[in-house]
């Protein structure tokens, strides 16, 4: 197993393990055992569990950058792109099962209270997500689909807050229904609240 390959295997297993059990619920030895990597090899790549979690977050962000660009970029109606993005996320959650979710949300609940470094990285990750949504909502505002006074950054934050809450309920209830409700009701209500008055 090559050095680069071993590192990528560990990062991929880290995403799966932290998603399933959170930061506090999984130990490094469990991750190593799952992929058959000796403990000494882990410390050739990462200096600590916290350092490993930081790199897992970066790997997770990279894995979704193409997904985000594929749904948010383009010339189509910006609100249609936004809706398509959340529909695709819902499809992904339905396929992965109710134990799925967003690694940012999972680690925010299980690691951020104990690690300033991880909290800062998570804040940065959420800010990047907010910026992507804000750009799309700004396009919609420029096209007159949202009020010219609409706070698109605040709207992006509210959308993320609603979506993360839906994922929390999905994991607690073992059912995709909260994510579907978010897309069908919450997202539409937030967009309607920022729409031009007729």
Convert the pLDDT of each residue in 39-81 to its tens digit: 888 999 999 999 999 999 999 999 888 889 888 888 899 999 9
**pTM tops 0.85, yes or no:** yes
Q: Quick one: pLDDT band at residue 4, thresholds 50, 70, 90?
A: low
- Other C-beta atoms closer than 10 Å to the C-beta of 104 total 22
Q: Who's near 127: CB < 8 A, 6+ residues apart?
A: none
Structural domain boundaries in the chain = 58-194
Measured on CA atoms in the order 111, 115, 121, 122, is the torsion positive or negative? positive
User: What CATH number was assigned to the domain covering residues 58-194?
Assistant: 1.10.357.10
Q: Output the six-digit token pair for 77.
A: 């109606």
Convert the pLDDT of each residue in 137-195 to its tens digit: 999 999 999 999 999 999 999 999 999 999 999 999 999 999 999 999 999 999 999 99
């Amino acid at each position: 197993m090559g050095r680069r390959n071993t590192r990528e295997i560990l990062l991929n297993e880290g995403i799966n393990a932290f998603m399933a059990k959170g930061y506090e619920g999984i130990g490094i030895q469990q991750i190593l055992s799952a992929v058959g990597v000796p403990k000494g090899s882990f410390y050739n790549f990462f200096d600590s569990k916290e350092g490993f979690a930081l790199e897992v977050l970066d790997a997770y962000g990279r894995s979704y950058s193409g997904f985000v660009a594929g749904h948010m970029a383009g010339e189509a109606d910006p609100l249609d792109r936004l809706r398509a993005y959340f529909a695709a996320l819902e499809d992904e959650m339905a396929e992965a099962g109710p134990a799925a979710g967003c690694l940012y949300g999972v680690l925010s609940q299980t690691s951020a209270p104990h690690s300033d470094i991880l909290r800062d990285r998570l804040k940065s990750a959420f800010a990047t997500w907010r910026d992507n949504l804000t750009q799309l909502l700004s396009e919609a505002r420029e096209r007159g689909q949202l009020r010219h006074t609409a706070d698109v950054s605040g709207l992006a934050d509210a959308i993320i807050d609603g979506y993360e809450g839906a994922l929390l309920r999905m994991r607690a209830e073992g059912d995709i229904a909260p994510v579907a409700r978010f897309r069908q009701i919450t997202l539409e209500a937030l967009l309607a609240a920022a729409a031009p008055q007729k």
